[in-house]
Structure formats: C-alpha cells, structure tokens
Structure 1
Amino acid sequence: MIKALDHIQLALPAGSEDDLRAFYCDALGMVEIPKPAPLRGRGGFWANAGELQVHFGVDLDFHPATKAHLAFAVADIDALARDLADKGYPVTWDTALPDVRRFFCNDPVGNRMEFIAAPV
C-alpha cells in the first residue's frame, strides 16, 4: 500500500535547465540538490520544496502540461504573486472556489502551476 509521496517529476525540454532553475529555485525558493551520480548525464536537476523533492527531467518529446499541474500551498500568496509578476511570470487569479485564494502561473516552458494560500 502507498505510504507517502516520495517525489514529483516535471518534464522539461533539453537545454531549458537554466530557465527552470531561475523560476523554481530563484523565484520560488526551491533549493537545488545534487542528483545521484548515475543520473547526472541525463540532464535536468533535482530540488527541494520544503520537505517535497521535485525532479526536473529532460523529455526529448516534451509537451508542456497545460491541464495537469502541481498545486503548491504558500505562506504569503499575495507577495508571491507580486514577486512572480515583477520577474516577468504572469499570474492569473482564479475565483471559482470562493473559499480558496489561488492563482495559476506557467513556468518558462509552459507547465501549468497552481499556488494556493496555505491556511493560517
């Protein structure tokens, strides 16, 4: 039986690692961690988002995830939205769920991300 989520993986096109590091590490504050030596030649990179490990893997037939997405709970959703927009990553607020403050933002290669205000 499943006990926990070990990690998530996002696909990226070859050569886009620096753009994605700028988004996920610099803008969102994830911390890059070393990939195991046997996997380093595959491209991509790994990062921690709090206790969650995120693997970014090269897909030679890359197509961005425009419906499927990750949803991150964040402490200060307004500050993050401003910061992302200031860095050139447009955000789209969504009010479909009246009790949930959230917005969507695409990463530099078009993968859809959701950001939800964490409960206070």
Structure 2
Amino acid sequence: MITFKRIDHVHIAVAPERLEEAKIFYTEVIGLELIDRPNHLFKTPGYWFNIGDAQLHIGVETPLPVSTRHTAFEVGDVDAALSYLENKVKILEEPIIPGRRRFAFLDPFGNRIELLQKIDL
C-alpha cells in the first residue's frame, strides 16, 4: 500500500528555443513566482515556479525514448512504495536531490511518475 500525502510538483517541457518565452509566460502572464532551481544538478536548462503549495518545473526536451514530463507525488514511505512497485512497473533511477529520497516509474502507457519522500538533512 502507498500512502500519498500531496502532489509535490509537475514538470512540463518546452522546445529549447522557447524556454525564455515560457519563463515570461508563466511569470508575467500567469503570475507565478520564479524560485531557485539547483541548475548544477541538471544537464538541461529550466525554471521552477511556486504554484500554490506545489511547484511547476519547466525544462527543455529533445526527442527521447522516455519523456522527462512527469507528475511527482510525496508519499509517506518511499522505500515501501518502491518495494510495492518494483515487480509491477519499470523503475527509473533519478539523480540525487538533497533532502529527498525518490524514484520514478513508467505506467503502462509510457507516462513517467515520480514518488518522493522528504528527509531531514
């Protein structure tokens, strides 16, 4: 059983040449607050925004066999969630982000979903 707590963030992708246009749209048109993104952790550029008690992440994407688009859910016990899912779905490794334990998986339709648990540093 997985105990879901809340959605953490949603990640969307834009074409590299439209990233700055996306930043302007989400800050000036939509009115989201631009927040710090640990850019040194990522190979591609992007922006993060506050959106209520969650975040919107925007990145660039070139055609890949697995999309970087995903929804992330905070769970009560990420290790239990991993144990529950590891024989049911394809598990994807994720880069380490300080303060979070996480993994992702593909649903049967190719959608990427991330599960995470916040941890004290």
Give the structure with the larger strand fraction.
2
- TM-score scaled to structure 2, two decimals? 0.46
- TM-score scaled to structure 1, two decimals? 0.46
